Homo-oligomer: A and B are copies of this chain.
Amino acid sequence: MRKGELTRTAILDQAVQVASRVGFAGLSIGRLADTVEMSKSGLFAHFQSKEQLQLQVLDRARRSFVDVVVRPALTAQRGEVRVRALLEGWLAWSGGFLDGGCIFVAAAAELDDQPGELRDALVRSERDWLELLATVAGTAIGEGEFRPDLDTEQFAYEVHGVMLAHHHASRLLHDVRAGERSRRAFDSLVRAARLPGSSRPSPA
């Protein structure tokens, strides 16, 4: 990467942290200038407008999510092991990667009533995530671990619910048992998805 690109990425990484705490509406160029200790005019040269900044912050968050959660999980063994890797990756992402928890959960609640480019970009990104969960559940059918008649979209919907419950319990309620509860909920979903008689696969 050229130096300009490196600077831009470093700024965006800080902006993702800010947005995870205060939301996209709170992410002004002025506020970000204070955080990264740059002039507002310098930041304007990079991002032109608050709207452009917000779109690039969401895009940067999406790329980080792919690096932290998606790509490692896709190197895991196909099937249930890979489904579990997505959950564990998400828990690590939501619990430790950003100051304010999963930025997508926060953005969903913030942007759902705000039509526009930013909302559209978030919707695409969330659909990608749910489709990935469903597709990976499909690999567990392919491997003979999950029932062939499993509705993988429904499975993805329910796993996503477990993640949202975790965000709520850990971020808002500071429930120290959130991780344990989420894994138990996930285990129930996986048990119900398994082909009768198949046992839990051991990780390769």
- Whether A106 is near chain B, meaning CB under 8 Å from some CB there, is yes
Given known contacts A157-B169, A168-B164, A109 and B112 CB-to-CB distance under 8 angstroms: no
Interface residues on A, range: 35 or more
| A188 contact set on B, CB distance < 8 A | 158, 192
What does DSSP make chain A's interface, helix, strand, loop or mixed? helix
Chain A positions 146 through 186: 1 when the CB is less than 8 Å from some CB of chain B, otherwise 0: 00000001100110111011011101110000000100110
Q: Are A161 and B173 in contact (CB under 8 A)?
A: no
Kindly state the separation between the CA atoms of A110 and B108 in the bound complex, as whole angstroms.
Answer: 11
Q: How far is the CA of A111 from the CA of B168 in the complex (A)?
A: 11
Q: Distance in Å from the Cβ of A95 to the closest Cβ of chain B?
A: 13
Q: Looking at the assembled complex, report how far the CB atom of A115 sits from the nearest CB atom of chain B, in whole angstroms.
A: 11
CB contacts (< 8 Å) of A100 on chain B: these are: 112-113
Q: Once bound together, how far apart are the Cα atoms of A113 and B17, in whole Å?
A: 12
Chain B residues contacting A192 (CB-CB under 8 Å) are: 188, 192
One of B113, B123, B127, B162 near A22 (C-beta < 8 A):
B113
State the CA gap A157–B111 with chains docked (Å).
25
Residues 181-204 of A, flagged 1 when their CB comes within 8 A of B and 0 if not, give 100110010001000000000000
A154 touches B184 (CB 8 A): yes
Would you mind naming 26 contact pairs between A and B with Cβ atoms under 8 Å apart?
Answer: A22-B113, A23-B23, A100-B113, A101-B112, A101-B113, A106-B109, A106-B110, A106-B112, A108-B168, A108-B171, A109-B167, A111-B172, A113-B171, A123-B172, A123-B173, A126-B173, A154-B181, A157-B165, A157-B169, A158-B165, A158-B188, A160-B168, A161-B162, A161-B164, A161-B185, A164-B168
- Give complex CA distance A131, B21 in Å: 28
User: With an 8 A cutoff between CB atoms, is A72 at the interface?
Assistant: no
Taking CB atoms, residues of chain B closer than 8 Å to A168 are: 108, 126, 160, 164
- The answer to whether A185 touches B162 (Cβ under 8 A) is no
- Cβ of A26 within 8 Å of any chain B Cβ, yes or no, is yes
